[in-house]
Amino acid sequence: MEPSSPITTGSTVPDFTLPSSSGDQVSLSDFRGRKVVLFFYPKDMTPTCTQEACDFRDHYSALKEAGAVVLGISPDPLTSHAKFIDKHSLPYTLLADEEHKVSEMFGVWQQKSMFGRQYMGIVRSTFLIDEEGVLVREWRKVKVKGHVQSVLDAVMS
The residue type at 126: T
Q: Is 148 helix (H, G, I), strand (E, B) or coil?
A: helix
Q: What angle do CA 87, 91, 95 make, to 5 degrees?
A: 85
- Three-state secondary structure readout of 68-137: EEEEEEECCCHHHHHHHHHHHCCCCEEEECCCCHHHHHCCCEEEEEECCEEEEEECCEEEEECCCCEEEE
List the catalytic residues. Answer: 49
Whole-number Å distance between alpha carbons of 150 and 155:
9
